[in-house]
Structure 1
């Protein structure tokens, strides 16, 4: 903008009267729509282009279009990870040269001078993210322009409007998260399941749940509760798996070997793995309670979920589905797991199993009571107390060695 306090005579013929920008203007469009299911990218993205293009110079056109179908709560590096086939299937008439992260990476190389968007929350709903993107583009000599900002006036007024808009976007984001989290908490308290059902269960529609009216975006998903899997062996397999950790202090590899040795008793799709075993042992839903907020899935790292502390978990007030183990048994298993990870020595049964393995024998539980468990060791059965005293462990080992 020329100064209103100009020279007393005409100096416009001087070479340095105006700062020459040797770069030609190369404006690009940036946009975003949250989801392909609850919104229509085929109409939203072109509408954003029309609004953003109002800030183009006369006769100017966008040289490229960068847009995503992603949540505005995700950082740029988590955007645009969907396959190109997904974007092609959306039938959006606006071409797509990449997503937000692509724009940030390529802006300087492509000689982009201006980035135009409908408003700041089309970049992100988190203020830190929009500020970071703006700063990175500014470092590359790129000006970011939002169509909903006022034209003219003071720089401070323009900045105030921009920051107010960004604050509004972040407050809206936080409000959405609060309402969504509140709804998910009530969902768990009422006994309805989140995510995939654990190994010994299936998720079935709760016929007694309140009828869901058709919402703004179509029919709401039905409420589901957990019921035992039709294959009753799964329940027994999960119970035995937890017992092996709780009473015998076995590590995942040892548990896998026991389960894999008897596939008819412990059925599994494909095969038992470390993650499956540890995941089941750690899953509090096996206690019959519904539990929510065990993991923070959006951490900024693709495919990574951070475990929340137990103090942040949300539990249903009562048992809402048939339990595999008691809550006290689950707690004991977690204590054993913590001890194993800390490098503590194995339990009594682990020593018996190790000695039996050296002799080519297997140790298999046959039945149990509150005070004893009956095991089959090789060709004979042995009743051992719970817990097993060290002197009994030594006696069992000596008996096995003498018998062979």
Structure 2
């Protein structure tokens, strides 16, 4: 009788690896180790887009493997890992292997030529060394990448990727300097002034320096009908409504040094912070934090179109500092308060995410749309919308428990099978978004003509966009519509979501937020009706990385 194995592997996208190729070679190493011993892989656990620094308990499929170890009726006899560097980081091996010992499940790795012997000190030393090497490799890559990006920014001023700031668009800057990448057709990009939005940026700086406030400027822009950054390019901020200019949008433009024509890097950093100082084994979470301005890396020369002079930019920063009562710097809002519905609760008036607010030792959620956005829009919004977390928490958990009860599963699956459209087949929605972007560009270009821009140049832009629009329209007409997700995929998805829903009741508030997000919970609060509308929008199993049973 052959020995049955479960395979575990992992890949992150930090090093731009192809998940399928990485899975294939790790699986190949695992097969090479066990096939000579009559082994057969009957289950797979493969984590995608998860850093090696994340502990096993917080990797979806590694934690699923640990749960499977606890099941005496599991369908495998041992576990094989194709690449220990990718499975274990730092001290993770010493924290995880005791579970394999306890449940008497052998762990096979190629580096020891078979199963790890708990009594063999050499095996223990080898695995500990691999964990240290894995951590060292990650740190070396991080240092090399950051050093290279700092040097490229300072000496070359190269555009390092990401979305262009409002007021700019991307333009071709020639072939990539790396011969291999150039041979693959990769090219450099640079920022150039957008013919319409760059005028808005210049106007904002001029008005602010003349003494106007950010909210006054936001109201004026909204009154003139000028689309906000999120409205002119919804893909930049899909979580924003785009109905009006906000104070934060104007302030972000005023504080962006790239409008001076120089490339700036290292404005923010990623800090790894312990999740629980009382339990180091839980590992770290990554926090984005702002660096002091003295640590920003500036290009030595101007490398793209200048929208604002350096003198005007510095003058704007001085005005901000005076109004703030000191040196102005952009800092994130930090909180240690546990908000169970963080990111899941939306305002029924404006469809914006409601913000957590701690009051009277309780968690509240609020929306202050009129204080943050220009009020020259058509939304009839109260000054503040408030909702206390305790008023809905028990009802939401009870609804989840009822929704995924065994007696209702078939009805839920039938309802989802009739309505749920496969995201892999909804290219039509993306094409519609691109068509809308073309329409906005055409509107902006015609506005530029009315404002006195060069007719020949603007006509060329209009023709280019109209050609792109015709191409997108043809693709939209040829796109299949209303493709449904197969029932077997929905059953797998419901099994995953239902398991998470059953964990919600006993979870801590801080953990509940992650569970609700994983489930796909979205709630909308309608104050005028005193009603919270809740729905589950789970991610289909063939979109996320899933555990595969019964072979490869």
TM-score band (shorter)? 0.5 to 0.7
8 Å CA contact 2:56, 2:92 repeated in 1 = no
Tell me: CA distance 1:131–1:273, structure 2 relative to 1, closer, same or farther (3 Å).
Answer: farther
Give deviations 1:239-288, integer Å, cap 9, x for gaps: 3323455553624x443212111135989615534543333222210121
SS at 1:206's partner residue? strand
Matched, 1:70 2:49: yes
Q: Does 1:181 align with 2:146?
A: yes
Structure 1 position 55, deviation (Å):
5.2
Contact 1:26 1:111 in 2 (8 A): no
Larger Rg: 1
2:82 corresponding residue in structure 1? 118
> Cα distance 1:40–1:235, how it changes in 2: closer, same or farther (>3 A)?
closer
Instruction: After TM superposition, give the deviation of residue 73 of structure 1 in Å.
Output: 4.7
SS for the counterpart of 1:324 is coil
Count the aligned residue pairs: 296
Q: Tell me, what secondary structure is at the counterpart of 2:150?
A: helix
Matched, 1:325 2:308: yes
For the pair 1:202 / 2:169, whether they are aligned, the reply is: yes
Match of 1:257 among 219, 235, 240: 219
- Are the structure 2 counterparts of residues 120 and 111 from structure 1 closer, same or farther at C-alpha, using a change threshold of 3 Å? farther
1:30 corresponds in structure 2 to 8
- Which of 283, 287, 308 aligns to 2:256? It is 283
* Structure 2 counterpart SS, 1:319: coil
Please report how far the alpha carbon of residue 99 of structure 1 lies from its aligned counterpart in structure 2 after TM superposition: 3.0
Distance 1:139 1:199, change over 3 A: farther
The runs of 5 or more residues in structure 2 that have no matched partner are: 233-241, 273-283, 328-552
Given that 2:85 and 2:134 are in contact with CA atoms closer than 8 Å, whether structure 1 keeps it comes out as: yes
Residue pair 2:56, 2:96 contacting (<8 A) in 1 also: no
- Deviation by residue 1:133-173 (Cα, 9 ceiling, x = unmatched): 55777787766543213557863211211121222222222
Structure richer in helix, relative to its length: 2
Q: Deviations over 1:300-338 (max 9, x none)?
A: 769x74333323321101222232223344344445545
SS in 2 for 1:199: coil
Shift of 1:67: 0.8
Distance between the aligned counterparts of 2:106 and 2:325, measured in 1? Answer: 53
Per-residue CA deviations over 1:319-375 (Å, capped at 9, x if unaligned) read 22232223344344445545666799xxxxxxxxxxxxxxxxxxxxxxxxxxxxxxx
3-state SS, counterpart of residue 214 of structure 1: helix
CA RMSD between the two structures: 4.3
Q: Secondary structure at the match of 2:170?
A: strand
The 8 Å contact of residues 261 and 305 in structure 2, kept in 1 or not, is answered as yes
Kindly state the Cα deviation for residue 206 of structure 1 after the two structures are TM-superposed: 1.6
1:121/1:255 CA distance change after superposition, 3 Å = farther
CA separation of 1:141/1:265 partners in 2, compared to 1, >3 Å: closer, same or farther? closer
Partner of 2:290: 307
Task: Note if contact 2:52-2:86 (Cα within 8 Å) is conserved in structure 1.
Answer: no
How far, CA to CA, are the matches of 1:329 and 1:128 in structure 2?
52
| CA offsets 1:56-102 (integer angstroms, 9 cap, x no match) | 8955544421113336456369998xxxxxxxxxxxxxxxxx63344
SS in 1 for 2:80: strand
Q: 1:30 to 1:320 in 2, by over 3 A?
A: same
Structure 1 residues 145 and 336: alpha-carbon distance in aligned structure 2, compared to 1, 3 A threshold: farther
Of 172, 181, 191, the match for 1:226? 191
Whether the 8 Å contact between 1:201 and 1:229 is mirrored in structure 2 is yes
SS at match of 1:272: coil
The unaligned stretches of length 5 or more in structure 1 are 1-24, 81-97, 345-404
TM superposition shift of 1:127: 1.9
**CA deviation profile, 1:2-29 (whole Å, cap 9, x unmatched):** xxxxxxxxxxxxxxxxxxxxxxx97521
Q: Deviations over 1:105-148 (max 9, x none)?
A: 65535766754212322225x42556555577778776654321
Match of 1:146 in 2: 109
After TM superposition, the structure 1 = structure 2 runs for residues 359-374 of structure 1, keeping only pairs within 5 Å, are: none
Which is worse superposed, 128-137 or 236-245? Answer: 128-137
The Cα offsets for residues 174-196 of structure 1, whole Å up to 9 and x where unpaired, read as 22222222332233221222321
Equivalent residue number for residue 127 of structure 1: 90
Distance of 2:25 and 2:45 partners within structure 1? 14
Residues 11 and 49 of structure 2 are in contact (CA less than 8 Å); yes or no, is this contact kept in structure 1?
yes
User: CA 1:210–1:341 in 2, change beyond 3 Å: closer, same or farther?
Assistant: same
CA contact (8 A) 1:72 1:121 kept: no
TM-score by length of 2: 0.44
TM-score, length basis structure 1: 0.58
- How far apart in 2 are the matches of 1:129 and 1:238? 50
Distance 1:283 1:192 in 2: 17
